[in-house]
């Protein structure tokens, strides 16, 4: 971003809130604490003061305090540790955790498959075969990386963090072991954010900094600092912390430090007294300059600097090629219910259902208590039963166990009476059902669970409820998760350009990386499978595409096996018995003698003797002389007919002139 960005564009901090007072949004002048920018040439003492100020600003902010309170409550309710739950003896608290059910029905729907990456050439690039092939191969590479990194499960974990902790965070980097881009989910509690920042739809997190609590064994940390030439005193500070009580080195000891990032720089700090290392953003190809000897003169002699007497040199500038437009912090944050006032959500799906969950638990306890008291109460008259109080207790226990009790005198009905509780009104249960449905409606899972569909009798109604859930989730959350995946894929390409030798050797055509729209929307597998089968039955879908639609793991191989079974089963079936049968059939086919082609003659073309003989074979007796007379008569009749036709034609023609 250039210095003119604030003038020509809207600026990165257009919606950024400064200060605790809402009225500060319309004030002019200084509206924030006076802070320095992190620079590489900044003294370590000043750097520690700056990062300490960042940490203090976050921890002491109202945003942080309210956020911690809400996340603790959300996590407890998701786990089933909920309010107003009496516990007696060894019994577990009675909890109907609809929040957990709804969230864990919600998440699998939006993370059923990896988001489909798309790599398209920029409109400014020439649509040459080489450029198109490059974009296609890059798209395949991103798909392989997503599969290798199990991106789908990482997105699910990020979404769960967002639902419970009001924020999801993914950090990208380079995996040195696998030599490929990687990403990992960061618990939001491990981040230090700018409380006055927000999460923008276009540029993401708008804060000037992000801090992350990291842990590393002392031995690994020392090795790393030696490799990157850490700051003065850094290695000794780690060794001092890792010393055991006897003064020896305990290199397996875990050391926790803070990793700070801005767009241009990053550093590690240990406490408030030590900077471990600092450097420019390593995930960026910066412009570089190289000094080479100046070209030789016409005589082939090196050019000499007259002032120093040394050969002249010239600087060659190499422009760094990057996919991202500007250096960025390697974090992507997921925020949905955000009003642009803070970096975390204002509310959550769980937060909107806490009161409903309390009401559900209350109604369940009422129903359970009424059920327990339906056949527990019993009153014994000591006067009419002739029993003592101690004996009366034994009577009630015996009756509950199905035993026999004798009454010395009086009527049994007058001596003992069972006291049953009145049944609860039907509105109690109706409200319980309605509240459960309300929770599922807010989450968008009413038509996605068996409990939510139990009240719908028709198949059409169930499908409509399912479609409404898809619209609710797709418009309310899936698009945000797709944009998060979009940012991760763009970071993967940037990391390839920085660290992969196949991509960092010169300029490449500009590509636009995105996620196929709707690739994370919930989809009905049964409906999709039925549509695929119908298309295949109409010869409108190939076998490989059919097996892909049915989610078979090896669709191409299955389609090839179908063809082999129909055309060359001996290749597909590697069985000796099949080979023997095929060999026997081949031998039998070779033993059949070739027969001459059959010859036939028409009955009418045969002489009278032949016609008579052929007729005798089918049981008909014909006289050869009679056949000869019949054939001659037939032939004469045909000739007479031809003469008559010729005469009629001549009669209708005009007379011809004499040839003379």
Residue 27 has pLDDT above 50, yes or no: yes
CB-based contacts of 507, cutoff 8 Å, min separation 6: 321
Q: Distances from the Cα of 387 to the Cαs of 390, 391, 401, 415, in angstroms?
A: 8, 6, 19, 9
Q: How far apart are CA 292 and CA 314, in angstroms?
A: 6
Longest CA–CA span in the chain (Å) reads 162
22-31, 226-235, 507-516: range with lowest mean pLDDT = 22-31
Q: Which of 201, 329, 215, 311 is nearest to 265 (CA)?
A: 329
Q: How far apart are CA 601 and CA 606, in angstroms?
A: 8
H/E segment holding residue 217: strand 210-217
Residue 357 has pLDDT above 80, yes or no: yes
Q: Which of 349, 411, 421 is nearest to 383 (CA)?
A: 411
Strand, helix or coil for residue 60: coil
Dump pLDDT digits (tens) for 360-370: 999 988 888 88
DSSP code of residue 454:
T
Positive or negative: CA dihedral 251, 256, 257, 263: positive
Strand, helix or coil for residue 375: coil
Q: How far apart are CA 567 and CA 535, in angstroms?
A: 24
238-242, 314-318, 324-328: range with lowest mean pLDDT = 314-318
Average pLDDT of the segment spanning 171-187: 93
Give the pLDDT of residue 638: 64
Instruction: Answer with the residue of higher pLDDT: 67 or 6.
Output: 67
Q: pLDDT-derived band of residue 10, with 50, 70 and 90 as boundaries?
A: very low
Name the pTM for this structure. 0.69
219-228, 343-352, 412-421: range with lowest mean pLDDT = 412-421
Question: ∠ CA 363-365-367 to the nearest 5 degrees?
Answer: 70
Instruction: Answer with the residue of higher pLDDT: 550 or 157.
Output: 157
CB-based contacts of 105, cutoff 8 Å, min separation 6: 443, 445, 448, 449
Residue 275 has pLDDT above 90, yes or no: yes
Instruction: Answer with the residue of higher pLDDT: 72 or 653.
Output: 72
Phi/psi at 204 (5° precision)? 80, -140
Q: How far apart are CA 323 and CA 317, in angstroms?
A: 19
The interaxial angle of helices 426-443 and 98-110, nearest 10 deg, is 30
CB 449, CB 488: distance < 8 Å: no
**Rounded percentage of the chain residues whose pLDDT exceeds 70:** 69
Range 27-44 burial, b when 16+ CB lie within 10 A, else e = eeeeeeeeeeebeeebeb
Tabulate helix, strand, coil % of the chain (nearest 5).
45, 15, 40
CB 315, CB 289: distance < 8 Å: yes
H/E segment holding residue 365: helix 354-372
Q: How far apart are CA 226 and CA 220, in angstroms?
A: 10
Q: How far apart are CA 502 and CA 498, in angstroms?
A: 10
CA 593 to chain centre: 66
Q: How far apart are CA 470 and CA 440, in angstroms?
A: 13
Q: Which of 169, 233, 160, 240 is nearest to 199 (CA)?
A: 169
Phi/psi at 397 (5° precision)? -65, -40
CB 275, CB 44: distance < 8 Å: yes
Give the pLDDT of residue 393: 73
Give the pLDDT of residue 596: 54
Residue 635 has pLDDT above 50, yes or no: yes
What are 274's two structure tokens? 């030590």
Strand, helix or coil for residue 249: strand
Question: ∠ CA 328-331-333 to the nearest 5 degrees?
Answer: 120
Give the pLDDT of residue 617: 67
Give the pLDDT of residue 14: 47
Q: Which of 262, 322, 336 is nearest to 286 (CA)?
A: 322
DSSP code of residue 291:
E
92-96, 158-162, 326-330: range with lowest mean pLDDT = 92-96
Q: How far apart are CA 427 and CA 579, in angstroms?
A: 74
Q: How far apart are CA 249 and CA 251, in angstroms?
A: 6
113-117, 119-123, 183-187, 299-303: range with lowest mean pLDDT = 299-303
Strand, helix or coil for residue 309: coil
Residue 385 has pLDDT above 90, yes or no: no
What are 269's two structure tokens? 């700090």
Average pLDDT of the segment spanning 85-93: 60
Dump pLDDT digits (tens) for 504-534: 887 889 999 998 876 665 555 665 677 777 7
CB 274, CB 233: distance < 8 Å: yes
H/E segment holding residue 154: helix 151-165
- Rg of the chain on CA atoms, in Å: 45
Give the pLDDT of residue 154: 93
Q: pLDDT-derived band of residue 384, with 50, 70 and 90 as boundaries?
A: low
Averaged pLDDT score across all residues of the chain: 79
153-162, 334-343, 438-447, 453-462: range with lowest mean pLDDT = 453-462
Give the pLDDT of residue 473: 47
Give the pLDDT of residue 360: 92
CB 333, CB 415: distance < 8 Å: no
Q: How far apart are CA 447 and CA 466, in angstroms?
A: 5
Q: pLDDT-derived band of residue 136, with 50, 70 and 90 as boundaries?
A: very high
């Amino acid at each position: 971003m250039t210095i003119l960005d604030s003038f020509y564009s809207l600026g990165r901090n257009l919606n950024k809130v400064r200060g605790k007072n809402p009225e500060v949004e319309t004030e002019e002048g200084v509206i924030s604490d006076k802070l320095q920018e992190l620079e590489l040439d900044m003294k370590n003492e000043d750097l520690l003061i700056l990062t300490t100020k960042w940490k203090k600003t976050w921890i002491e902010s109202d945003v942080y305090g309210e956020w911690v309170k809400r996340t603790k409550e959300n996590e407890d309710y998701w786990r089933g540790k909920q309010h107003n739950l009496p516990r007696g003896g060894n019994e577990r608290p009675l909890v109907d955790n609809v929040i957990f059910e709804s969230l864990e029905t919600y998440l699998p729907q939006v993370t059923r498959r990896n988001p489909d990456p798309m790599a398209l050439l920029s409109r400014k690039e020439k649509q040459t075969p080489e450029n198109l092939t490059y974009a296609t191969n890059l798209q395949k590479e991103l798909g392989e990386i997503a599969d290798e990194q199990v991106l789908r499960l990482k997105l699910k974990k990020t979404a769960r963090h967002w639902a419970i902790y009001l924020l999801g965070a993914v950090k990208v980097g380079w995996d040195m072991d696998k030599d490929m881009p990687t990403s990992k989910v960061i618990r939001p509690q491990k981040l230090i954010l700018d409380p006055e920042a927000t999460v923008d739809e276009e540029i993401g997190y708008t804060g000037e900094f992000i801090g992350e609590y990291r842990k590393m064994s002392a031995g690994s940390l020392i090795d790393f600092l030696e490799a990157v030439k850490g700051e003065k005193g850094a290695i000794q500070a780690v060794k001092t912390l890792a010393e055991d009580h006897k003064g020896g080195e305990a290199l397996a000891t875990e050391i926790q430090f803070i990793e700070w990032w801005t767009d241009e720089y990053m550093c590690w700090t240990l406490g408030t007294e030590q900077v471990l290392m600092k450097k420019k953003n390593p995930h960026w190809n910066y412009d570089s300059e190289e000094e080479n000897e100046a070209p030789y003169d016409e005589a082939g002699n090196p050019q000499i600097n007259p002032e120093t007497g040394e050969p002249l040199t010239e600087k060659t500038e190499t422009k760094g090629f990057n996919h991202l437009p500007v250096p960025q912090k390697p974090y992507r944050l997921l925020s949905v219910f955000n009003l642009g006032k803070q970096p975390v959500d204002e509310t959550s799906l769980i937060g909107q259902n806490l009161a409903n969950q309390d009401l559900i638990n209350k109604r369940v306890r009422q129903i359970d208590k009424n059920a327990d008291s339906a056949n527990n109460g019993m009153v014994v008259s000591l006067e009419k039963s002739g029993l003592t109080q101690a004996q009366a207790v034994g009577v009630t226990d015996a009756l509950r166990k199905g035993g026999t009790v004798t009454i010395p005198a009086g009527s049994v009905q007058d001596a003992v009476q069972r006291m049953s509780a009145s049944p609860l009104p039907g509105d109690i249960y109706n409200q319980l059902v309605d509240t459960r449905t309300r929770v599922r409606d807010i989450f968008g899972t009413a038509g996605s669970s068996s409990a939510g569909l139990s009240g719908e009798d028709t198949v059409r109604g169930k499908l409509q409820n399912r479609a409404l859930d898809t619209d609710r989730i797709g418009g309310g959350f899936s698009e945000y998760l797709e944009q998060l995946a979009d940012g991760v894929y763009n970071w993967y390409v940037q990391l390839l350009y920085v660290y992969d030798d196949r991509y960092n050797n010169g300029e490449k055509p500009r590509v636009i990386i995105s996620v196929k729209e709707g690739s994370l929307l919930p989809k009905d597998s049964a409906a999709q499978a039925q549509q695929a089968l119908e298309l295949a039955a109409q010869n409108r879908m190939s076998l490989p595409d059919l097996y892909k639609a049915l989610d078979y793991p090896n669709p191409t191989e299955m389609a090839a096996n179908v063809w082999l079974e129909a055309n060359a089963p001996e290749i597909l079936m590697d069985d000796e018995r099949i080979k023997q049968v095929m060999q026997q059939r081949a031998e039998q086919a070779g033993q059949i003698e070739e027969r001459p082609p059959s010859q036939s003659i028409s009955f009418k073309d045969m002489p009278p003797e032949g016609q008579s003989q052929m007729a005798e074979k089918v049981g008909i007796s014909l006289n050869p002389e009679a056949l000869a007379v019949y054939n001659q008569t037939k032939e004469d009749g045909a000739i007479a007919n031809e003469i008559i036709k010729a005469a009629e034609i001549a009669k209708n023609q005009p007379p011809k002139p004499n040839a003379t």
